[in-house]
Amino acid sequence: MREVAALSLVGAAAGAVGGLVFWAVHGETTPERAIAYGLWIAATLCLALMIVVGRKLIWRRTSLPVLESWVWVGAALVLTLAGAAIDVLGS
């Protein structure tokens, strides 16, 4: 469960910063919606990275512990729900 929390926290921070940068540059959307988009993109990246990390080639070439797929899916779910909550609260 710690891995899900840590991965979700990293994804949320990256998504929030990315959303705020998008809002600052683009400006045609609300900051809440931009942050929600950033969190949803971070969730998508978690699912995409799950496929990449699941390759045996990665396991053989690194000594780092490889996260299991349920951790990636759990973090993507947390990020998706957080993005939805921020989007609803911002409306």
Residue 76 has what pLDDT? Answer: 96
Residue 68 has what pLDDT? Answer: 83
How far is the C-alpha of 77 from the C-alpha of 55, rounded, in Å?
22
Residue 32 has what pLDDT? Answer: 93
Q: Is the pLDDT of residue 12 over 80?
A: yes
Q: Is the pLDDT of residue 58 over 80?
A: no
Q: What pTM, to 2 d.p., does this model score?
A: 0.86
Q: What are the residue ranges of helices labelled H in the chain? A: 2-26, 31-53, 56-61, 69-90
